[in-house]
Structures are given as structure tokens and as C-alpha cells.
Amino acid sequence: MKTPCRFAHLSYIENEIYLNRSGDFFQLLEFEGYLDYSYTDIEPDVLFIDISIVEHNKLDDKYFHLLLTAKEVYINTLHTASPVYNFICDQLRIPENWPKRQYTILHQLHNDLHCLDPNIKFLENDFVLNILKAYFRRYPFKTPTTWLRDIGVERDRWYNAWKTANIVRTEERSKIFLAPVRYGIHQGRNLIVDAIKNNPQWLGHYSAMDRINRLDSDQLLQQEEQRYLTGMMHDPTILNSLSYDVFSNSIKGEFEQLHPDDKLIWLSLNPVHVQYYEDTMVSVFGESCENQDIVITEKTYMPLAHGHFILPIASAGNINALCKKGFLFPDFINYSYTNIENHEERVEAFIKEFKRLMEIPIETWRKLYDSNIDIIHHNRQKFFSESIISCGI
């Protein structure tokens, strides 16, 4: 057992720095064996600083002492808006007025990183992979889910959502694809949505076609003729969280019975119900970063853990990065599009492959799934077999 650890976390939002008393770092510290840890703003053992603070050199006198007293200083890029790769390699410098000491960039990028500043070193931690494995394994976190700790949300109800899909017989799978995507700022996701809307004959489950807050539910129902609802609610006992724009493992009616604070938990990371995985064979989705940074998130790991093939639109090299981790992929899906460097051309090639695969009859899909079942089992085993990776704190 490691000695107790005191830590501080500085965030930068809307041109202001503040002490963030919650976040992913609770779990990072627990993974490292610091089951006894506490928050402090005086002399922390570990100080986490969001990369935007370094970028804008916004650390004022109020918190500057933390740089002098902390034993370890980590610059955080976990869950940071992409792209950050080019910025780290070409522009990132420790401000001249900061102490000359070692600063460690904690990242989950799969690019080959380098930095011109000699005071900076890199430490990769595939945090999303680790955290998902921990949730699936019912890791006994001291806290519930990251930022929800301070509002006292119960952990058990949310933990019950993390169940692995059964690898059921293909004759029990009535559809081909699962696509938890929606309109937004990502070009690839928007094109996925357009392709699905323009091809109602395709067999799949998909999420709401637009952000719910743009239209009230009645208008959206009339506009879409309930297409996405009939697509998602093949099991009427499953709550379709129309008003909240999320999928959940909740039983119908449970959401309405929750305390208002508890409802916030459904607005964070929520797994797609396992029945949708058991009813389909391939997940089609857009990764958090479609260009430049190679970032692999729960969008990729979840379907691999649930026994799905994947068809992602992501940065060039995404599939190669997964292969280096030991995951396998079938030959009947043409992943050559993932190696195209030009973003527009890569997205175009992705849509072409998506359409080709959706024209394959479901009977053929079932045969393809069965003939590649070893890959399905391998990827699930790969996901769960490795021990949680130490981040070296």
C-alpha cells in the first residue's frame, strides 16, 4: 500500500483558473494504489494542471505557490478538446516565469510525441481503456463517477448499467448496425446520420438524428415520423431517453423516480443498452477526434468489449494503433480508408465503405460474423485480459 497522497487540480475555463475538487484524477490515484488521498491547496504531493493554463500562461500569484511546493507536476491533456498533438510538438513551452523543474504531460494520444522544451517529458496512460475495464469489473472506487462525487450521487445504480453483452447466435440478431451518432460539429458523424436517413432500408439501431434541444419532442417526432424511436425501442421495456439525448440501461420509469441530483448521472457517460449490441453485428460511429490526433475512447472500446466489429470514422492511423495494442480486425471490412491522410478523402472513402457494407444481405452478414467469431472473442479477451496500466505517478 502506498503512502497517503495529497493532490490539487487546477482547471481553466472561460479565462479563469479555479481549484477543481473532482475529476478523473480520483480514479487515477486509486489505480496507483493511493486509496488514502485528500485534496489540498497548500502543499500537494501531486499537482494536475490543465494544458490550457500552460498555453495561456494564466497561473497568477494566487496559485503560483503550488508549482513550488508540489512534489510532482502533471500537465493534463486527458479528455482535452482535440487537436492538441501539433500544439504539444510545435508550440508548447513552459512559461519563462515558471520554476525550472520537470513537468510531465499526461496524455492518451497514440501519436509519436516530441517536444522542444527540455523541461517536458511524456507519460502515456490510456485512461479511457483503464476506466472502462474498471467499471466493467466493478472496481470498488471510493467515489462514484468522477465529477459526481461532490453532489453525492449514488454509485450502485450507475454501476448496474455496466454489463457485457452476450455473444448470441447470429440468427437472433435482427439487424446489422448500431450507430450511436447525431448531428453536431463533426463532419464524419453528420455524414453517417445523412447516410442512415437517406437509406431507410438499412437494418440498424441508431440514436436521435438531431440534438434534442433544437426542437421540442413533439416537433421532432413529427419531423422524423418516429423513425429513430422505432429504431431504438425494439424492446419497449427499455427507457429511450428522448429528452436527455442519451442511451441508458435504465428500466422504463426508473428515470422519473430518481432524485433530481441523481438524474445528472444519466447526462455523463452512459453505455448503450447491451440488447442493442446483441441484436446487431457492427458499430458505426465517429471517434472524438476525426482528424490529426489519434485518440481512442469509449466509442471504440465499448463495441469491442461487447462483441462487435467496428467501423469508425477517426484520425488516420486509428486502426493501426489498435492493431499495435493487439486487437484484430476482419478482412471483409476494407479498413484501407483509415490510412488516408487527407481528411476529406478519408471521410469520403469511409462513407463509400459504410454504404457497401450496408448493402450486404443480413443472411450474409450472419455468415461473416460466424466465420470471424474468433476475432470477436479475441478482442473481448484482449480488452479484459491486461491488468490496469499504471500511469507512473
Most confident segment among 47-56, 148-157, 376-385: 376-385
Tens digits of residue pLDDT in 204-221: 887 754 443 333 333 433
Q: How many CB atoms lie within 10 A of CB 340?
A: 15
Entry pTM: 0.79
* Residue 316 banded pLDDT, cuts 50, 70, 90: very high
In this prediction, residue 117 carries a pLDDT of: 84
The helix-helix angle for 298-305 and 373-385 (nearest 10°) equals: 120
Query: What DSSP designation does 337 have?
Result: G
d(CA 181, CA 390): 32
Which band of pLDDT confidence, cut at 50, 70 and 90, is reported for residue 60?
Answer: confident
Please give the helix or strand (H or E) that residue 87 lies within, else none.
helix 85-90
Q: What is residue 135's predicted lDDT score, i.e. its pLDDT?
A: 75
Q: In the block, which residue shows the cell 490515484? A: 29
Q: What is the pLDDT of residue 239?
A: 34
How is domain 154-385 classified at the CATH fold level? Rossmann fold (3.40.50)
pLDDT (0 to 100) of residue 81: 53
pLDDT category of residue 156 using cuts at 50, 70 and 90 = very low
Q: From CA 160, how far away is CA 145, in angstroms rounded? A: 13
> Percentage of residues in the chain with pLDDT exceeding 90?
27
136 phi/psi in degrees, rounded to 5: -60, -35
Q: What is the pLDDT of residues 129-141, one digit of tens each?
A: 877 887 787 776 6
The answer to whether the bond into 140 is cis (omega within 30° of 0) is: no
Report how far Cα 3 is from the mean position of its chain's Cα atoms.
31
Q: What is the dihedral of CA 391, 293, 54, 32, to 10 degrees?
A: -10
Band of pLDDT at residue 259, cut at 50, 70 and 90: very low
Burial zone of 242 (CB within 10 Å; 0-12 exposed, 13-18 middle, 19+ buried): middle
Q: What are the tens digits of pLDDT across the range 211-251?
A: 433 333 334 334 443 333 333 333 333 333 332 333 333 33
